[in-house]
Amino acid sequence: MTASSGPWANRRLILKGAGLVALIGLGNAVLHAAPVFAATNDNKYPEDAFKQKNAGDAIKALYGRDHEASDKIKLDAPEIAENGGVVPIAVTTSLPNVTSISFIVAENPFALAASYHIPEGTVPAVANRLKMAKTSNVIALVESGGKLYSATKEVKVTVGGCGG
Amino acid sequence: MASSIRVRAILNGENAEVQTLIQHPMDTGLVKDAKGELIPAHYIQQLTFTHKDKTVFLADWGTAVSKDPYVKFAFKGAAKGDELKVSWVDNKGATDSLTATIQ
Amino acid sequence: MRTALALGLSLAMSLSMSAAAHAQSGAAEGQKLAFDRGKGNCLTCHEIKGGDLPGSIGPKLENLKGRYDRAELTAILNDETVRNPLTVMPPFGRNRILTEQEISAIVDFLQTL
Amino acid sequence: MSALRALLVAATALGLGATAMAEDKPNPPADAKAFQDYFVKKFPKVAFDDFVNGPYSMNADMRRQWEEKEQFPPYEFALEAGKEMFAKPFKNGKTYADCFPNGGIGIRQNYPYFDDKEGKVVTLELALNRCREANGEQPYSYVKDEMASLTAYMAYTSRGKRFDIRIPDDPRALEAYEKGKEYFYTRRGQLNFSCASCHVQSPGERIRAEILAPALGILNAMPIYRSEWSGMGTISRRIVTCNSQTRAVPLEPQSDEYRNLEYYLSYVSNGLPVSGPGARP
Is A130 a residue whose pLDDT tops 90? yes
Asked if residue D9 belongs to a domain, the reply is yes
C23 confidence band (pLDDT: 50, 70, 90):
low
Number of C-alpha atoms within 13 angstroms, CB side, residue D42?
22
Same domain, yes or no: D58 and D106: no
Same domain, yes or no: D67 and D176: yes
Last residue of a domain, one of D130, D156, D182: D156
Asked if residue A24 belongs to a domain, the reply is yes
Residues A153, A154, A155, A156, Cα dihedral to 10°: -170
Same domain, yes or no: D30 and D133: no
User: Are C44 and A80 inside 8 Å of each other by CB?
Assistant: no
Is C65 a residue whose pLDDT tops 70? yes
Q: What angle do CA C40, C46, C47 make, to 5 degrees?
A: 120
Is A35 a residue whose pLDDT tops 60? no
Prior bond of D55 cis (ω within 30°): no
The CA distance from A19 to the nearest CA of chain D, in Å, is 11
Same domain, yes or no: D224 and D142: no
Is C73 a residue whose pLDDT tops 60? yes
Is A22 a residue whose pLDDT tops 80? no
Q: For chain A, which chains pass the contact test of at least 3 CB pairs under 8 Å?
A: B, C, D
- Spatial CB neighbours of D25, under 8 Å, sequence gap ≥ 6: none
User: Are D71 and A10 inside 8 Å of each other by CB?
Assistant: yes
Is A36 a residue whose pLDDT tops 90? no
Asked if residue D161 belongs to a domain, the reply is no
Asked if residue D50 belongs to a domain, the reply is yes
- Spatial CB neighbours of A162, under 8 Å, sequence gap ≥ 6: C44, D207, D245, D246
Asked if residue D162 belongs to a domain, the reply is no
CATH number of C2-110: 1.10.760.10
Residues counted in chain D: 281
Q: Which of D68, D88, D230, D232 to mutate to test the interface with B (most CBs of B within 10 A)?
A: D230
Residues counted in chain B: 103
Q: Does D190 contact A at CB distance below 8 Å?
A: no
Same domain, yes or no: D173 and D270: yes
Q: Which of A92, A122, A139 to mutate to test the interface with B (most CBs of B within 10 A)?
A: A122
Asked if residue A1 belongs to a domain, the reply is no
The pLDDT of residue A162 is 65
D90 confidence band (pLDDT: 50, 70, 90):
very high
The CA distance from D209 to the nearest CA of chain A, in Å, is 6
Please give the residue range of the domain that contains residue A55. Answer: 6-155
Active site amino acids of D: 242
Total count of domains within chain A = 1
Please give the residue range of the domain that contains residue D141. Answer: 76-156
Distance CA D107, CA D274 (A): 10
| Burial of residue D204 (number of CB atoms within 10 Å: 0-12, 13-18, 19+) | middle
Asked if residue A160 belongs to a domain, the reply is no
User: How do residues C76-104 score in pLDDT, each as one tens digit?
Assistant: 999 999 999 999 999 999 999 999 999 99
Distance CA A145, CA A87 (A): 29
Asked if residue A161 belongs to a domain, the reply is no
Q: What is the mean pLDDT of residues A128-152?
A: 96
What Rg value do the Cα atoms of chain A yield, rounded? 18
Asked if residue D164 belongs to a domain, the reply is no
Is C18 a residue whose pLDDT tops 50? no
The domain ranges of chain C are: 2-110
Same domain, yes or no: D56 and D193: yes
Among chain B residues, the shortest Cα distance to A37 is held by B55
The pLDDT of residue C98 is 96
Asked if residue A164 belongs to a domain, the reply is no
Among chain A residues, the shortest Cα distance to B61 is held by A114
User: How do residues A83-109 score in pLDDT, each as one tens digit?
Assistant: 999 999 999 999 999 999 999 999 999
CATH code assigned at D101: 1.10.760.10
DSSP string of B41-97, one letter each residue:
PB-EEEEEEEETTEEEEEEEE-TTBPSS-EEEEEEES--TT-EEEEEEEETTS-EEE
Of A87, A105, A122, the CB nearest to B57: A122
CATH code assigned at A61: 2.60.40.2470
Same domain, yes or no: D176 and D271: yes
Residues in chain D closer than 8 A to B6 (CB atoms): 72, 76-77
- Spatial CB neighbours of C72, under 8 Å, sequence gap ≥ 6: none
User: Are D72 and B68 inside 8 Å of each other by CB?
Assistant: no
Q: Which of A91, A77, A108 is nearest to A142 (CA)?
A: A91
The pLDDT of residue D10 is 58
Asked if residue D193 belongs to a domain, the reply is yes
Total count of domains within chain D = 2
Residues β-bridged to residue C65: C68
Asked if residue A116 belongs to a domain, the reply is yes
Same domain, yes or no: D130 and D241: no
CA distances D100 to D95, D108, D121, D124, Å, are 10, 11, 16, 10
D36 and D271 Cβ atoms separated by less than 8 Å: yes
Same domain, yes or no: D174 and D258: yes
Question: Are chains A and D in contact at 3+ CB pairs closer than 8 Å?
Answer: yes
Is C36 a residue whose pLDDT tops 50? yes
D13 confidence band (pLDDT: 50, 70, 90):
low
Of A21, A88, A160, the CB nearest to D208: A160
The CA distance from B68 to the nearest CA of chain D, in Å, is 7
Query: In order of start, what are the domains of chain B with their CATH numbers?
Result: 5-95 (2.60.40.10)
Give the range among A2-6, C100-104, D64-68 with minimum mean pLDDT: A2-6
Same domain, yes or no: D152 and D209: no
The pLDDT of residue A39 is 37
Question: C26 or A112: whose pLDDT is higher?
Answer: A112
Q: Which of D159, D104, D152 is nearest to D275 (CA)?
A: D159
Is D196 a residue whose pLDDT tops 50? yes
Task: State phi, psi for D50 to the nearest 5 degrees.
Answer: -75, -15
Same domain, yes or no: D90 and D215: no
Same domain, yes or no: D188 and D241: yes
